[in-house]
Amino acid sequence: MPEFLRAYIVVIALSICMFSLLLALKINFIKRSELKQWRNYWLIISTLSFLVSNTWIYFVTIAIILGYANQSKSDKLPLFFAISCAAPLYTFSIPGFGMINYLITLNYASLLTLFLLMPQAHNIKKLPISNYPFYSAVGLYVVMISILDARETTTTHSLRLFVTYIISILIPFMAISRSIVSSEGLKKCLFALALCLAPLALAGCFESLKYWKLYSSAIAHILGDDNVQRYGLRGNSLRASALFASPIAFGYMMVIGIGLVGFCKKYTRKKHMCNFVIVIFLTALYYTKARGPWLGLIVMIVLYIWSGSNRFGNFTKFSLASVITILALSATSFGAKLISMLPFMSSAESHETSTVDYRIKLLEQAWLLFREHFMFGLANYRDTPEMEVMRQGQGIIDVVNSYVDIALNYGIVGLGIFSFIFFGLLINILGVIRRLPPDQIDLINIGRALYCILGSIIFIIFTVSSINYIPIFYWLIAGLSSGYIRLCTNKLVQPKKLDVTGRRV
């Protein structure tokens, strides 16, 4: 039996087990029929990702399935999140004509946007742009990077990039933000996203335990490239990545998943089963051996505590528990091995220390280049002598910091707008959480989940470049955050109703 068929059988078996566990949680705001529908779409798309060997047939089939989903009566937005990363991020180019080689390059996420998000947003009543938080900033960011990317390239390629940014950034952000009309809908989206990630968490655990990258054979089967996902080791074990491009990208997704499952735990009586799901995500996160996401999880926990009541008391408990855990772990061989993988805790000759040194040197070299092109950055900055010294043995310059990449590409203007959007959303979410009355428990729970997840994303992308699903998901979370802020703002400005005695209710 070919390897891709054996891998497919394992992935589907693991996924069915995970979906059965999610069904057993009986989340009180999800109908069983909805969950089964999301599961079926996820399994169908995953099946195509393994069994179809031609990219054109693959994308046409996906388009037909999404077209059918768009015509169904199901809620499109939760479905979008339920299958948002059900397949590797394959790409294909639409051929051009005459002197134009190709019109545009699309991928799986682009198809989801075009077939599910755009029609969903079109059916929602439109309000003035001022009603949607950070719409103008995101639009300005897309226009600005499109203009700056036009430097030293052709007009046709510039237009391609502009359309690509609209499909990958502007439409998802605006469509998601506009489609959020109730707390129930927002809760469904958060659970659907957790559902999409859960099978991949179990697959990641299996990969590291069995030393077998399950999705590598599927990618090789469709793309014909055996080097798409290389087997990487750290600490004498395989670094899990599931269908994502790298272990750190997988770790980034697992941190998001932990935050989402933690939110869903509030809406089920099966707390022990929900804890088991969280343990699976934590195990998958450990098997990535990616220190950035590990630290991102700590940031998420700290932000979650900060967004709640009794902050200082809970911080004290968390700090004491952390110290006790570290002391207990340091007394075991496993704990000593785990701690040695952390930044600045390894020996000077270790691989872990070399990756930290590389990141520090990257910041130093990037600063030299940034000072010379402060305002608008530099096109093709990787070709400069300052960055050439960062070239690794694999022959690449790995800019393992999304902020550095934006700053060098688009200068302080691009970095400023990008930071304004994400830090602005973070501050605004905390602001509305603080202003919401205690009886708005659903909105408070949603806000705390989005706040800690967005904060962890902001931290993790400091340690990784925006590759694969990483930028797709931070724009999706940004769209949810914008919709949440609008929802809460509308709730806060609504006039209070009076009961028969004249008291506010």
Which has more confidence, 154 or 195?
195
| pLDDT tens by residue, 42-55 | 999 999 988 888 88
Which of 255, 289, 323 is the last residue in one of the domains?
289
How far is 478 from 132, CA to CA, in rounded Å? 12
pLDDT over threshold 80, residue 239: yes
pLDDT over threshold 70, residue 234: no
pLDDT at position 277 is 95
| pLDDT tens by residue, 205-225 | 999 988 888 888 777 666 655
The residue-averaged pLDDT of 178-205 equals: 93
pLDDT at position 188 is 94
Task: Identify the CA nearest to 167 among candidates 149, 146, 181.
Answer: 146
**How would residue 332 be classed by pLDDT, with cut points 50, 70 and 90?**
confident
Q: Are residues 302 and 273 in the same domain?
A: no
| pLDDT tens by residue, 377-417 | 888 888 888 888 888 766 678 888 999 999 999 999 999 99
pLDDT at position 272 is 93
Q: Are residues 266 and 192 in the same domain?
A: yes
The structure tokens 């069995």 sit at 210
Q: Identify the domain containing residue 476 by its residue range.
A: 293-505
Q: Which tokens sit at 158?
A: 């510039």
The residue-averaged pLDDT of 139-146 equals: 95
The residue-averaged pLDDT of 247-269 equals: 94
The residue-averaged pLDDT of 212-241 equals: 70
pLDDT at position 146 is 94
Which of 255, 271, 289 is the last residue in one of the domains?
289
Q: Are residues 241 and 299 in the same domain?
A: no
Q: Are residues 245 and 349 in the same domain?
A: no
Question: Mean pLDDT: which of 16-20, 151-155, 316-320 is highest?
Answer: 16-20
pLDDT over threshold 80, residue 143: yes
Q: Are residues 2 and 114 in the same domain?
A: yes
pLDDT over threshold 70, residue 342: no
Which has more confidence, 500 or 187?
187
pLDDT over threshold 60, residue 227: no
Q: Which residues contact 239 (CB under 8 A, 6 or more apart)?
A: 208, 232, 233, 247, 287, 288, 289, 290
Distances (CA, A) of 416 to 138, 355, 410, 419, 456: 12, 27, 10, 5, 19
pLDDT over threshold 60, residue 278: yes
Q: Are residues 14 and 102 in the same domain?
A: yes
Task: Kindly state whether residue 482 falls inside one of the protein's structural domains.
Answer: yes
Q: Are residues 252 and 314 in the same domain?
A: no
Q: Look at the chain and report how many structural domains it folds into.
A: 2
pLDDT over threshold 90, residue 301: yes
pLDDT at position 349 is 56
CB 86 within 8 A of CB 196: yes
Task: Kindly state whether residue 154 falls inside one of the protein's structural domains.
Answer: no
Task: Identify the CA nearest to 74 among candidates 116, 137, 20.
Answer: 116
Q: Are residues 358 and 483 in the same domain?
A: yes
Q: Are residues 68 and 5 in the same domain?
A: yes
Which of 289, 309, 340 is the last residue in one of the domains?
289
pLDDT over threshold 60, residue 15: yes
pLDDT over threshold 60, residue 226: no
pLDDT over threshold 90, residue 190: yes
CB 204 within 8 A of CB 74: no
The structure tokens 């077209």 sit at 67
pLDDT at position 498 is 43
pLDDT over threshold 70, residue 292: yes
Q: Are residues 96 and 109 in the same domain?
A: yes
The residue-averaged pLDDT of 425-443 equals: 93
pLDDT over threshold 70, residue 480: yes
How far is 382 from 270, CA to CA, in rounded Å? 51
Which has more confidence, 250 or 349?
250
**How would residue 434 be classed by pLDDT, with cut points 50, 70 and 90?**
very high
pLDDT at position 124 is 67
Predicted TM-score (pTM) of this structure: 0.91
Per the prediction, the chain carries an average pLDDT of: 86
Percent of the chain whose pLDDT exceeds 90: 50
pLDDT at position 148 is 93
CB 244 within 8 A of CB 214: no
Task: Kindly state whether residue 9 falls inside one of the protein's structural domains.
Answer: yes
